[in-house]
Amino acid sequence: MKVAARFAGLAVLGLVSVLALGGEVQKIYGFKGGVKVSPAAPVAKKDLAYIPPAGKNFSQSWTFVYYLDDGSGGYLQFSTLRLAYAFKQILVHHAYFPADGPLVYRKEILSTSEVKWEATEPRLTMNQSYWSGFYPEFRIFAPLNDLYANLTFQSLVPPWRPGDGPVHYFTPDGDWYDLVVPIPLAAVTGTIRVGSKEKKVSGFGYMDHNSQTVWFLTQVQELFALRSFGEKWSIHFLDYWPPPNFGNQRVSWLIVMKDNKIIYATDKYKVEPSDWVAEPKRGRKYPRKARVVVEDPQFKLVGEIKGVKLLDVLDVRDEVPAVLEPAASKLIRQPAFIRQRAEVTWKLTTPAGEETAPARGIFEYTIAEKE
C-alpha cells in the first residue's frame, strides 16, 4: 500500500510537469500514409517489441480484448509507464466482465527486474504473466491472484496498422503516438478461473500495441472506441480529440472486416453520441447510444450502437491517495474510462447492394477534461 501511494504521489508531480505545455495551439501530423486497407509498412515482430522506459515521458501497452460466446468479456493489458523522468510503473491488469455479476479486476505492479523480452518468438514476460507469439497465434497467461486466464488468440485476419507511421505532435518529428493492430480479429479459446470457479471459454478477440512519448490522458480530451464482432462482419474504430494545446485535431481510424478479411478502412466518419446518463461513481455523463456514419459513395456505413450494460468505470483518481486527490482533480477534472456491453446493428451499402449485420462487443467512452 505504501509503495502504491508513493507511485501515485510521484504521478501527480509528474502530471504537473507533463501538463505545463503552455496555451499555444499546436499542430498534429496524422498517421503517416493515411488510414487504408493495406498500409505500405506491414506489421512485423519488431513493432511489438518491449522498449525500456526512457526519456522524460514514455509509455507503451499491449492490450488484448475478448468477447466470449456467453456474453462475458474483458481487457487484459501489459503496460509500462515513465512520467517526468522520476515516475515509473510496470503493470499487468485484467478486467473480466462476467455475463452476469459484477466486474472482477485484478492487477500486479512490478519492477523492471521482473520484465523479460525475447525477440525471436516474441515473448513478453512480466513476473508470472506473459504473452507470446505472432501471426497467426498468440498465447496469453495471467495468473493474477484469484483471477486466472490462459487464452489462445488464433488470428483470423493478418496484422494491420492505421498508416505507415506514428502521429506526431507540434512538429513533423516531434512527440509521437503510434499504434499497430497485430490482431484485428481472432478466435479465442482457453480457460478463465475466478476463485475456485473455472470454465472453458470461446469467442472473438482483438489486440493492439501502442506507444507514445506523451501521457495518454494529456493527449486525449474525449475518446470513443468500439470492438464489435459478428458472424460475418466485424467492425472496430478508435476516435479521439486532443485538447487545444495538443492541436485539437481529430485522430481516428475505422476498419471493416467481412469473412475474415479487411475490406475497408478510413479516418473519415462521424460518431454521434446520444442518450447521455450519469455513471454511479461520480456522476459523469456518458452516452448509452451512438450512431456511426461513413458517407463514402462506394461504401456507405451506418452503425447503431446501444449500450446494454455498464461494465466498468475505471477512474484514474482511484489510484491516487485521498490526500492528493484535490491536486489531481485540479489537473484532470474527469479522468475515467467507461465501458459498456453493446449491441450493434450495421447497415452497409455498396454498388453490390445493401446488407444488415448484427454484432456485439465492448463500447468505450473516455473523458479527460481539463479545467
Q: Please write the tens of the pLDDT for every residue from 263-283.
A: 999 999 999 999 999 999 888
Specify the CATH number for the domain of residue 94.
Answer: 2.40.370.10
Predicted model pTM = 0.90
Nearest Cα to 238, choosing from 179, 172, 303?
A: 179
Name the least confident of 10-24, 193-207, 214-228, 323-337.
Answer: 10-24
Q: Please check the confidence at residue 6 and state whether its pLDDT lies above 80.
A: no
Cβ pair 63, 216 in contact under 8 A = no
| Domain extent for 262 | 2-367
Task: Specify the pLDDT at position 65.
Answer: 98
Grid cell at residue 177: 503516438
Q: Please check the confidence at residue 7 and state whether its pLDDT lies above 60.
A: no
Task: Specify the pLDDT at position 77.
Answer: 97
Name the least confident of 173-187, 249-263, 325-339.
Answer: 325-339
Q: Please check the confidence at residue 326 and state whether its pLDDT lies above 90.
A: no
Contacts of 43 (CB under 8 A, 6+ apart): 159, 160, 161, 180, 181, 182
If DSSP codes are grouped into helix, strand and coil, which group holds residue 244? helix
163 vs 178: CA distance, rounded Å: 9
Neighbour count for residue 3 (Cβ, 10 Å):
9
292 vs 71: CA distance, rounded Å: 23
Cβ pair 180, 161 in contact under 8 A = yes
Look up residue 215 and give its amino acid.
W
* Domain count of the fold of the chain: 1
> For 274-310, how does the pLDDT look when each residue is reduced to its tens digit (9 = 90+)?
999 999 988 889 999 999 999 999 999 999 999 999 9
Q: Please check the confidence at residue 354 and state whether its pLDDT lies above 70.
A: yes
**What average pLDDT does the chain have?**
88
DSSP 104: E
* Beta-sheet strands, E only, within 16-128: 28-29, 58-68, 73-83, 87-97, 104-110, 115-118, 123-126
Task: Specify the pLDDT at position 314.
Answer: 84
Average pLDDT score over residue span 51-63: 87
Residue 196 exposure: Cα atoms within 13 Å on the Cβ side: 0
Task: Specify the pLDDT at position 11.
Answer: 39
